[in-house]
Structure 1
Amino acid sequence: MIRPWKVVSILLLIGAIILDPSLSVGKGEELPAGTLTGGASAPAQMLGIAHAVHLRPTLEYGREIQKFSSLVGKRPALVMYFLDWQGNPNAHGLDRYFDPYLVNTISNTLPLSERPAIMLTWQPLHGRQATGCAQDYNAGIPLPDILNGRCDNYIRGFARALKARPERFLLRFAHEMNISDSPWWVGHIGADPSLYVAVWRHVHRIFSEEGVPNVEWVWSPNYASNPPDPWNDLHRYYPGDAYVDWIGLSGYNWYNARQPVVWKSFRDLYDAVLQDLACSYAKPQIIAEIGSVEGDGVNLAKAAWIRDAYQQAPAYPFLRAVQWFNDYAYTDPNNADFRITTGTAQDGDVRPLEPWTGAYREAIANPIYTTTLPSLDQVTPPSTYCGGPPFRLSPNVALMAPIDLTSIQLIGINYTSTVQISISLPDSFSATPSPDRMDPPWGISIIQVKTQNAVQGTYTLTVHVSGEGVSLNLPVQVRVINQVYRMWLPAVWR
């Protein structure tokens, strides 16, 4: 695949072309080697992890959220429900494109301080001519039709309807695109993931044209591509950093509800993929759907599974929300039962399902699970993270002229206390970090390094990072040469 054109800085020195080591090539923008270490010993999540839940919509949705919160002892920061593309042909104005009934029941029931953010799992199904598609669709809307604009009027109306609302929406469009269960899986029509990427960007562009400030985009594959072929790898469906705000995942412990019968723990499901995604994309992560069925109730117990999952989740530094799927699979009582409470279609009443409700209540009692979803700016990491030390320099080598100026980044991820930054310098050098302190869990300080009549040779600058439990000395090697020629050349990676 041909990657987009990028402009890179190239240093020309004594006939040799040297690629600036601050640049990186790959799925994300910063890809140092290493393996993220999970487990209970990992640093605490200073931003917290939002308590989130999928509750099946009811006529009294606000009351259902209240009752659920009371049963589990903590209100959700984020609530998710599913909707398709048919809209409401009998409504008027923008309500034709987005039915506000459920969000209105929330705002009419819950005080402003207790209202959750809303994740809309927006499935391209059942488009209607009456609400903006070029024809009626009885099931999935073919991706080529979306790309060719056959539902643009609906998409634009939907965007305007969300823009007119006061809520914060996380839009989970065409989720689990990497599994054959999904109607929009490209394998059904013999296409490849580039079609999905083009469709995502097309829909995103319409929202951008409408200027919808209260929508954040959640790209949400399944934790395991099916089929597990290289062409169907989840990374091939990634629309690009400019089109994605959050990365979501879904994965369940189906046990005997599906073949093969395997009991899968939280780490079995999520460990490898959460590490891989953190190493590939500087994006906050959400587990958008998670659940477990019951095993034998003793050696394989759903209650123990719940406790373990919420104990393991804080080991992943980009993970910002865990959203329990409180329903039967496909809303079918004869299918897998992931519930931790009951639910009803009418009055919003929910009741406990012990021991699962109690296990869930105990698990989310940990104060790391919060009732507020931080802003997108707060939760977006400054860089990718592939494990290793929490602080690194990019670059850690530099070429400079005797009188020159260059910049070095100190990148910190997954640290737990405020740190101060200072620099030890040889003669003829000066350096200023901005800022000179960084708060957890991550940050970037830009260090401006200047030379003033420095003699040619090799020098070592030392960046000192200090704080509670932190004392690091990070070297930067600087080679001063007679003259450095800087050129800007277009480059393309294939």
Structure 2
Amino acid sequence: MKRRSLLGLSLAAVPLAGCEQYRSDDEVPPVVSHPPPSASEAPGSLPPVTEGGGPVRFKQGAVMLGAYVDLKGMGVNAGIDLRRRQLGRPERIVHRYYSWTDPLPVSLGYVSGKSTLMISWRGPEYKDVNGGASDKLIARAAKRMAQRKKPTLMRWAWDMNRDFYKWGGPGNNRDTEGYIQAFRRIHRIFREEGADNVSWVWSPNWNSRPAEDWNAFTNYYPGDEYVDWAGVSGFAQAHSPGDMFDEFYATYSSRKPIMITEVSVVDRGGGTKPEWIAALRSWIKAHPAVGASVWFDTDTHPSSRENWRIDSSAASLAAYKAMSNDPVFTG
């Protein structure tokens, strides 16, 4: 399933879903206000997690650098091969998107033995899961994942704290508990079907829309028993990596390894994009619970004029290659 039919981007300015389009003069909404962490959760008060991740293991000091690659004029194989040649190594995480009713992949030829597949699996409305109507569909998906026999990252119903997906809280009568119940039910069925090669990635957006207390990302957390990686997505316009990810890191880094599940930046010309990539590299290195970062590497989204590719300019590619060549990012 093409990402173009699934994606509503989590850009700080506007989502790129449906017919909405990014405009450089869009007003940036305020960061959602959550209650501050308790003293025991404040940044620096607890050491970051040093292990975990489920079947896709977290290794502190070894960040898996991966991407969703979809490049204009190229098939998936060709795009991923171009990045392998440019970076001198395969993507550590190959990210792909699937609709709720799509058969999930047992094998993909473009995922090398040195790469891990991350599936972003679209969701339905919560009632379609919690009422049991989707149990057979979920079980079929779980059986296919078990057949993969390879550690696989499963990112179900991402960006649930935004208002442009049918599986978001805003689209389900503000029923954040319904999201939690659905996540847990799917997790249970996968376990019952023997899909113990799956690592579960829970992945809200860094800022909620609407920015109201009920919609805070913390209200969607399924619980430590059901989450292997705490992921967060963010597309930067005027925000630094710290602006976007500090709060999430402070909330979960002592409990779970952290993944930046979708990330890119608006290119405002000059050195803005390469400088932001360098800032992301520095931020990740300063936050040892981060074990993976996955770039949104594409120029094909139909409702966006933005070029999210790592090679949108020679300077951007050089900055990304410098990050890729950093020993911390060779995990």
Amino acid at match of 1:276: T
Contact 1:192 1:231 in 2 (8 A): no
Alpha-carbon shift at residue 34 of structure 1 (Å): 4.2
Contact 1:50 1:78 in 2 (8 A): yes
Alpha-carbon shift at residue 49 of structure 1 (Å): 1.0
Residue 67 of structure 2 is aligned with which of 36, 46, 53? 53
As a proportion of its length, which structure holds more strand? 1
Instruction: Write out per-residue CA displacement over residues 378-401 of structure 1, whole angstroms, 9 at most, x where no aligned residue.
Output: xxxxxxxxxxxxxxxxxxxxxxxx
Partner of 1:122: 121
Contact 2:105 2:145 in 1 (8 A): no
Residue 98 of structure 2 is aligned with which of 67, 71, 83? 83
Contact 1:49 1:321 in 2 (8 A): yes
The CA distance in 2 between the partners of 1:333 and 1:197, in whole Å, is 30
TM-score (normalised: structure 2): 0.78
Contact 1:219 1:248 in 2 (8 A): yes
The CA distance in 1 between the partners of 2:191 and 2:199, in whole Å, is 11
Matched, 1:331 2:301: yes
Partner of 2:319: 359
Aligned residue runs from structure 1 range 379-394, under 5 A: none
Instruction: Write out per-residue CA displacement over residues 36-56 of structure 1, whole angstroms, 9 at most, x where no aligned residue.
Output: 39xxxxxxx853111111113
Partner of 2:55: none
Matched, 1:35 2:43: yes
The CA distance in 2 between the partners of 1:335 and 1:270, in whole Å, is 25
The CA distance in 2 between the partners of 1:247 and 1:288, in whole Å, is 9
The CA distance in 2 between the partners of 1:59 and 1:99, in whole Å, is 21
Aligned residue runs from structure 1 range 71-110, under 5 A: 71-87=86-102, 97-100=103-106, 103-106=107-110, 110=112
Percent of residue pairs bearing the same amino acid type: 27
TM-score (normalised: structure 1): 0.53
Aligned length: 282
Between Structure 1 and Structure 2, whose CA radius of gyration is higher?
1
Contact 1:143 1:196 in 2 (8 A): yes
* Structure 2: gaps spanning 5 or more residues: 1-36, 46-58
Residue 260 of structure 2 is aligned with which of 279, 287, 304? 287
Alpha-carbon shift at residue 63 of structure 1 (Å): 4.4
Contact 1:61 1:105 in 2 (8 A): no
As a proportion of its length, which structure holds more helix? 2
Amino acid at match of 1:122: W
Alpha-carbon shift at residue 353 of structure 1 (Å): 4.0
SS in 2 for 1:355: helix
Amino acid at match of 2:181: A
Alpha-carbon shift at residue 66 of structure 1 (Å): 2.8
Partner of 1:249: 232
Partner of 1:151: 134
SS in 1 for 2:291: strand
SS in 2 for 1:368: helix
Distance change (3 Å), C-alpha of 1:62 and 1:320: same
The CA distance in 1 between the partners of 2:233 and 2:240, in whole Å, is 14
SS in 1 for 2:100: coil
Partner of 1:40: none
Partner of 1:268: 243
Aligned residue runs from structure 1 range 91-490, under 5 A: 97-100=103-106, 103-106=107-110, 110=112, 112=113, 114=114, 116-124=115-123, 141-253=124-236, 255=237, 263-279=238-254, 282-298=255-271, 301-328=272-299, 331-332=301-302, 334-341=304-311, 353-370=313-330, 372=331
SS in 2 for 1:276: helix
Contact 1:60 1:105 in 2 (8 A): no
Partner of 2:24: none
Matched, 1:65 2:90: no
**Higher alpha-carbon deviation: 307-316 or 215-224:** 307-316
The CA distance in 2 between the partners of 1:160 and 1:63, in whole Å, is 29
The CA distance in 2 between the partners of 1:304 and 1:47, in whole Å, is 23
Alpha-carbon shift at residue 72 of structure 1 (Å): 2.2
CA RMSD of aligned residues (A): 2.6
Structure ranking higher on relative contact order (CA contacts 8 Å, 6+ apart): 2
Amino acid at match of 2:281: Y
The CA distance in 2 between the partners of 1:305 and 1:74, in whole Å, is 23
